[in-house]
Structure 1
Amino acid sequence: MDAHGIVEEVIAGLGGGEGVWISTFTAAELHRRADEIDPALPLAGLPFAVKDNIDVAGLPTTAACPDFAYRPERHAPVVQRLVDAGAIVVGKTNLDQFATGLTGTRSPYGSPESVFGGGLISGGSSSGSAVAVASGVVPFALGTDTAGSGRVPAALNGIAGVKPTRGLLSTLGVVPACRSLDCVSIFAGDVATAERVLRVARGFHADDPWSRRGHRPLIAEPRVGVPEELDFFGDAGQEKAFARFAGDARVDIGPLLEAGDLLYRGPWVAERLADLGDFLEKNPESVLPVTRRVLETGHGYSAVQTFRAQHRLRELKAAADRMWERVDVLALPTIGTTFTQAEIAEDPIGHNLTLGRYTQFANLLDMAAVTVPNGFTEDGRPASITLFGPAFSDETLLLLARSLPVDDRITIAVAGLHLSGEPRNGELIDRGGTLLGPARTAPRYRLYHLPSGAPGLVRVADGGASLDVELWQLPAGEVGGFLAGIRAPLGLGRVELDDGTEVTGFLCEGYAAAGAPDITASGGWRNYRMRGAN
């Protein structure tokens, strides 16, 4: 497909997914860019998204705070490198405000849901970038990563996330969170695409005081360490998923976790005020309450406390460096458990810390990291592994990530037009879907014939029935693209089966059933059709 055809596909996908995009270029601007591309360039015609705390000329930079917005005159250097290689910037994506948070729920522009539905958070702060990739709109996107923002959203959306060594990608033109720790990160549907982008995006920039040069030899068969013990916060599914991964040695990660605690429970939170303090002081009402609450904790640390924390971090860094004498790579679950948007709303600060438990030490301890999907839990939640290495071990991590055998299929319950023999069943088959067989829901649902001609399965509190469905397995990497073709009021959620298990499945929002014929008595869409319904 030529660049114009790719642009048309991107434009068609921009309307899907609430709260994903903050601003985009017009169709005419995207086609004009496609006309200018030299097909011999390494990323020729490849569309991408940019987190809206990274400058893109022609679009405002908001950092998810409308009153903070400004219009940059030029691209951030990392964006310019990609554009020079033939890639096409589509637009700017949503984020937790000022890149402060790991939930994807802290933005006035909305809270994008994970592509796996069920109210699952998308993860933050690079929420929009991850969902734009996972939904198949763009093949890659730029995010940022200070505490885990290039890894947590990748985990929750079943894609690859690369957090390079600090300074490997320039952070000029990036709104700082913690300037000494910030990284530009890369999201992609697979590791190979992320690596291709990284080759272009990396490079020393003389005007960037945080830019670094460095090299570490590639290790073809690295020694992999796994933790002596882990806390999965009661999530047996995530624990079982990580248990599928076997390392070569057991290591103590206590020093790493202690270092991670310094980021939000120590004086590094005050570094966020070094760049944002003046704006916060003059415009307190422009900042979301949860974001303001986090930022203002930085006022509570003295210079003495800061130096003490730096000294302790140095000791912890020495302990981490001794770990690299035993192993070349450390494997951890990216997140110990998952949360819904409703659960995050109950405890936004506490659950945010839980999400960052196995991510937020990386930049403090000068590590590189690569996140990859690790299949699904039995209840359909995405699982993920992050590989860590010392600074400039990026190539070794990517090589290992490409070789990991993972369980990467998800079970989906379909109740209507995607059933075997129905008009849209080919969408499952074309994406490598395999039929597991028939099933029935728990008696908690009603079925409606929607005005669009499709059926709508709605969960109800009372008066539900058990209905026919089919169970299909779909490769995880195909889920996002498959969902891109599904429009409201339908979406993925959790469907309870008559044996008490839950799977991912198609559900209809209740409002859409108002006035639609109730066809529950038929027992299922196929029975309804066979009885001669129009």
Structure 2
Amino acid sequence: MSERSPVAAVRAAYAALRAYNDPALFLSVHDEEASVHRAGEIEAAGPAGKPLYGLLFAVKDNIDAAGLPTTAACPAFSYQPKASSFVVARLEAAGAIVLGKTNLDQFATGLVGVRSPYGVPRNALNAKLIPGGSSSGSAVAVGAGIVDFSLGTDTAGSGRIPAGMNGIVGLKPTLGLLSGTGMVPACRTLDTISIFARSVEFAAKVAAVAAGYDEADAYSRPLAPFELKAKPAKLRVGVPPAGQRKFFGDAHAEAAYAADLERLKSHGADLVELDFEPLHAVARLLYEGPWVAERYAATKPLIEEHPEAFFPTTLKIIGGAKGLTAVAAFEAMYKLADLKRKTAPIFESVDCLAVPTLPRLYTLADLEAEPILYNSNLGTYTNFVNLLDLAAISVPVGMRGDGHPSSLTLIGKAQSDGALAGIATAIAA
């Protein structure tokens, strides 16, 4: 967090945005002088009662922010919201200032960050790497130091994969902790707004402000407030056995994960090898099962009347749901219920799981050659989380042999958000 005045912080953010010079990063930006005026009002009122006083944030462009269009990275879908989303409004009331709206995989469909007609945001660490998605621009804006924090969304890992790709923290809250009012749905039963920041403590501070019950959101839950908790002296941490660890040929990722687990052990963790196959079975349901039909439902008028408006890969994925039946949906729901019962003992036996955020670093060239399979690979350790109503946080822990940061994702039961953040704080690089 900056110690500068709100006005100085705004000027610095716009200067950093110009210096980064990436037209694919933000899809819309507030007028600089208007933002300076807003910052001046906040400064004149003072920091009392404003826990996010004068801080700059970016908003993924599938979340409403007053004064800026919402596009979901689809020009034909664009609309002008009447008000900020529930979460954005809470952050603004706490003294934070919206810089602009960031690029994403169209309709939040993807983990790669390259499926947008507006271009691909440049990875904050290495221009050859994908930015990760679908919250690509939000993660890059934080990783590049343009804003203090940002909002993404997470259905299958979109609040964690981009964090790992850009070396920052990605907090995926318990479903219903943050309201979805004013968020364009992808899979509404699984979606949540997520938070990117450069430290766990800061992400937790933002989450504490953003969280709150919203009567207008049918999926909001009256949960306990978000509270960062201290790491216990001893932990039981579940990890996949060596034979089930997937890195898809990335030797640096494999070595980094082993080193990151040693770091966990140095902080009092007892590692417990667990069978991850039931979790992978849950993950396969997300895209191989009928949940993709929720994406079709969210875009139904547009995809049926103007399919040409969609990014080609996005159309292929969402359009494939048209033939799914209610029978298939119920069969998948029964299978998920069975898998929830089978996986529940996993989370009773340990304090949390610790998995690689990224099984492999992919380049832009990789995705040009294989756009769908490699996207699926990225979800190896993320896709099961929302289906099982789990909380998660991705945190940079160490360095890979190639000089890129490595990240662990800590995963726990619903409402374990503060406990996971406390562990993440202790092990963060």
TM-score range with shorter-chain normalisation?
A: over 0.9
- CA distance in 2 between partners of 1:241 and 1:397 (Å): 21
> Counterpart in 1 of 2:296?
273
> Counterpart in 1 of 2:218?
209
In the TM superposition, residue 118 of structure 1 has moved relative to its aligned partner by 4.5
- CA distance in 2 between partners of 1:348 and 1:151 (Å): 19
- CA distance in 2 between partners of 1:405 and 1:298 (Å): 40
In the TM superposition, residue 374 of structure 1 has moved relative to its aligned partner by 2.7
> Counterpart in 1 of 2:239?
226
Task: Tell which structure's C-alpha radius of gyration is larger.
Answer: 1
Question: Are 2:404 and 1:371 aligned?
Answer: no
Within a 5 Å distance, the mapping from 1:128-143 to structure 2 comes to 128-143=137-152
Q: Look up the equivalent residue of 2:47 and give its one-letter code.
A: P
Identical pairs, percent: 50
- CA distance in 2 between partners of 1:50 and 1:177 (Å): 16
Pick aligned residue for 1:39 from 47, 62, 67: 47
Question: Are 2:247 and 1:238 aligned?
Answer: no
Pick aligned residue for 1:80 from 76, 89, 92: 89
- CA distance in 2 between partners of 1:238 and 1:185 (Å): 24
> Counterpart in 2 of 1:338?
361
- CA distance in 2 between partners of 1:251 and 1:398 (Å): 22
In the TM superposition, residue 380 of structure 1 has moved relative to its aligned partner by 2.6
Contact 1:241–1:374 (8 Å) recurs in 2: no
Per the alignment, in what secondary structure is the counterpart of residue 182 of structure 2?
coil
- CA distance in 2 between partners of 1:17 and 1:371 (Å): 27
CA-to-aligned-CA distance 1:209-261 (integer Å, 9 cap, x gap) = 00012349968424211112311111111010010114421111111111011
Q: Look up the equivalent residue of 1:359 and give its one-letter code.
A: T
In the TM superposition, residue 304 of structure 1 has moved relative to its aligned partner by 1.1
Within a 5 Å distance, the mapping from 1:182-331 to structure 2 comes to 182-215=191-224, 220-221=231-232, 222-228=235-241, 229-244=244-259, 245-246=261-262, 247-331=270-354
Question: Are 2:32 and 1:27 aligned?
Answer: yes
Contact 1:120–1:340 (8 Å) recurs in 2: yes
- CA distance in 2 between partners of 1:17 and 1:159 (Å): 20
In the TM superposition, residue 300 of structure 1 has moved relative to its aligned partner by 2.9
Q: Look up the equivalent residue of 1:237 and give its one-letter code.
A: H
- CA distance in 1 between partners of 2:125 and 2:245 (Å): 25
Contact 2:395–2:428 (8 Å) recurs in 1: no
CA-to-aligned-CA distance 1:247-285 (integer Å, 9 cap, x gap) = 421111111111011111110001111121221111111
In the TM superposition, residue 405 of structure 1 has moved relative to its aligned partner by 5.3
CA-to-aligned-CA distance 1:136-167 (integer Å, 9 cap, x gap) = 00010000000100000000000000000001
- CA distance in 2 between partners of 1:121 and 1:332 (Å): 21
Pick aligned residue for 2:71 from 59, 62, 68: 62
In the TM superposition, residue 28 of structure 1 has moved relative to its aligned partner by 1.2
Per the alignment, in what secondary structure is the counterpart of residue 396 of structure 2?
strand
Within a 5 Å distance, the mapping from 1:394-473 to structure 2 comes to 394-404=417-427, 406=429
- CA distance in 1 between partners of 2:102 and 2:386 (Å): 23
- CA distance in 2 between partners of 1:254 and 1:381 (Å): 29
Contact 1:338–1:381 (8 Å) recurs in 2: no
> Counterpart in 1 of 2:5?
2
Point out 4+ residue stretches in structure 1 off by more than 3 angstroms. Answer: 215-220
Contact 1:17–1:112 (8 Å) recurs in 2: no
CA-to-aligned-CA distance 1:444-476 (integer Å, 9 cap, x gap) = xxxxxxxxxxxxxxxxxxxxxxxxxxxxxxxxx
- CA distance in 2 between partners of 1:348 and 1:322 (Å): 36
- CA distance in 1 between partners of 2:365 and 2:130 (Å): 9
Question: Are 2:190 and 1:181 aligned?
Answer: yes
CA-to-aligned-CA distance 1:81-117 (integer Å, 9 cap, x gap) = 0000000001000000000001010111110121121
Greater per-residue strand proportion: 1
Structure 1 unaligned regions, length at least 5: 407-534
Contact 1:130–1:153 (8 Å) recurs in 2: yes
> Counterpart in 1 of 2:164?
155
Per the alignment, in what secondary structure is the counterpart of residue 362 of structure 2?
coil
Per the alignment, in what secondary structure is the counterpart of residue 107 of structure 2?
helix
- CA distance in 2 between partners of 1:306 and 1:319 (Å): 20
Contact 1:21–1:94 (8 Å) recurs in 2: yes
- CA distance in 2 between partners of 1:329 and 1:20 (Å): 34
- CA distance in 2 between partners of 1:320 and 1:328 (Å): 14
If the length of structure 2 is used for normalisation, what is the TM-score?
0.92
In the TM superposition, residue 174 of structure 1 has moved relative to its aligned partner by 0.4
Pick aligned residue for 1:13 from 1, 12, 16: 16
- CA distance in 1 between partners of 2:218 and 2:127 (Å): 43
- CA distance in 1 between partners of 2:273 and 2:21 (Å): 41
Question: Are 2:106 and 1:94 aligned?
Answer: no
Contact 1:167–1:210 (8 Å) recurs in 2: yes
- CA distance in 2 between partners of 1:358 and 1:315 (Å): 20
If the length of structure 1 is used for normalisation, what is the TM-score?
0.74
Q: Which has the higher contact order (CA 8 A, sep 6+)?
A: 2
In the TM superposition, residue 321 of structure 1 has moved relative to its aligned partner by 1.2
Q: Look up the equivalent residue of 2:426 and give its one-letter code.
A: S
> Counterpart in 1 of 2:175?
166
Structure 2 unaligned regions, length at least 5: 263-269
Q: Look up the equivalent residue of 1:404 and give its one-letter code.
A: I
- CA distance in 2 between partners of 1:353 and 1:5 (Å): 42
Contact 2:247–2:254 (8 Å) recurs in 1: yes
- CA distance in 1 between partners of 2:158 and 2:423 (Å): 22
CA-to-aligned-CA distance 1:169-190 (integer Å, 9 cap, x gap) = 0001001000100000000011
Greater per-residue helix proportion: 2
